[in-house]
Structure 1
């Protein structure tokens, strides 16, 4: 379902007030930006809920464990079907040389998340003091070192991995182990393990969990029960599926469906 442009995110303006600028906001369901681009890079990160960024050729999901990096002049549109608390870190073009040259999903480490939470709670409007810029500079350094993939659920043209991925995408409830999938592909578990890590920067188990989250989302949106989805995705109980979904997406399946914030999250400070 395509979000309606019922609400519009606050504008970042036409120029940055500082070389690195932080902005946070809590937005309601069905918020959207117009398609746009700007002369600076942008990291989009969701503290709660799921952010979606539409690019010219694909959609990128940003659950709370990942951010989306957009290099300068990247055309994009922010979409948000559900209530979320998010932030943007804007980076001047001259500081983007060490950051990815293509749009990508960026792993947000516990350190980076803690820094973003601190900035959200303490970085007031117009607060561009020297100490704030030093902290933001460290944040950019950390982003330059972060692992990145082209997508939250990356694909590959690797001739060994591609058939395995196609099998799982066609049947995400396939619960065969990596060793069993390796035998079916006439290779070894160790070889597949290495290929997954090399191609995606993550273990097979995490890729499969991401696949199941992505497959579950439209079914939750359509009103299917958590129990049915859990069984179809290979889980023996709804509770184990709920735990996986919460760990990967930052919200429970029902919270995702209802557009609520993650249970137990701290009350967000309003913007200054």
Structure 2
């Protein structure tokens, strides 16, 4: 009996395995597909000759592409460059789309996999594609809109993983503690002391390894944890307290800075 695949870096079996719809040839130069992933689901490891743009309408998408691990909440997309070995998985229920783009149309897209800062126009196109069946729109208009989508994607700003990982064993030990308990409110000095390093060393390692301060990283991991709780109907106040914020206003300020909108508006839009 074949073993159930394991979600990368999780160490426990995934409950659901989803197979890709095609592995050799795309049915059209640009193909849009919706997917509803149950919790604890994964795809098998893949490597295809076309590019793939992944965008979560709700839930958080995780992809291990090459040596990088990407976590993308709904306001970010993920670009997987052609020929990149990757595997996707999710802890919580997720609704996402994949836009498959033939290699010859990827010339203006990033040459390596990365997170994509989705523009309002791209988000509007994706929402239209999501709710409008191709039978209603017609194949020719749909194909033209998909070409516009590719053009607009190529102009979007890119960034690294929303919540970067590190190969630094000492720093990763701290990150693991914060992943497991995002409400941990110990100061940088207290964390550094608990892991036998100076505060200055911790700050330097975080900036060098993560490309951001540890404070910024902590806020991002809190945001990733907040999204499924908000979608489940938890109040903003309850989520803020669960994540270690003394007041909901501080949580809302963090949420607005990272997503450009309030928690209530964000959940209503993604629903």
TM over 0.5: yes
Distance 1:264 1:228, change over 3 A: closer
Q: Does structure 2 retain, via aligned residues, the 8 Å contact 1:3–1:31?
A: no
User: C-alpha separation between the residues in 2 aligned to 1:39 and 1:126?
Assistant: 30
Aligned to 1:134: 144
Q: 2:223 aligns with which of 213, 230, 236?
A: 213
Q: Aligned partners of 1:247 and 1:34: how far apart in 2?
A: 35
Aligned to 2:128: 118
Mark the CA change 1:128 to 1:57 in structure 2 (over 3 Å): closer, same or farther. Answer: farther
More contact order relative to length (CA 8 Å, sep ≥ 6)? 1
Tell whether 2:120 aligns with 1:106: no
Q: CA RMSD in A?
A: 4.2
User: CA 1:216 to 1:46, structure 2 compared with 1: closer, same or farther past 3 Å?
Assistant: closer
* Match in the other structure for 2:36: 26
Superposition deviation, residue 14 in structure 1: 2.5
| Map of 1:4 onto structure 2 | 14
The answer as to whether partners of 2:240 and 2:246 remain within 8 angstroms in 1 is no
Q: Distance in 1 between matches of 2:32 and 2:135?
A: 9
Q: Which runs of 4+ in 1 moved over 6 A?
A: 125-128, 168-172, 202-208
Residue of structure 2 in register with 1:77 after alignment: 87
Return 5+ residue gaps in structure 1 as ranges: 157-164, 177-183, 186-195, 218-224, 254-261, 268-272
Distance 1:10 1:36 in 2: 9
Q: Which residue of 1 aligns with 2:161?
A: 151
Q: How many Å apart are 1:57 and its aligned residue?
A: 1.5
Q: 5+ residue gaps in structure 2?
A: 1-9, 179-183, 189-198, 201-206, 228-237
Give distance in 2, aligned partners of 1:71 and 1:139: 16
Distance in 1 of aligned mates of 2:225 and 2:122: 28
Equivalent pairs counted in the alignment come to 221
TM-score between the two structures when normalised by the length of structure 2: 0.65
Residues 51, 84 of structure 1: 8 Å contact kept: yes
Report Cα offsets for 1:55-114 as digits up to 9, x if no partner: 232310111111110011111111011111100001000111110011100011111111
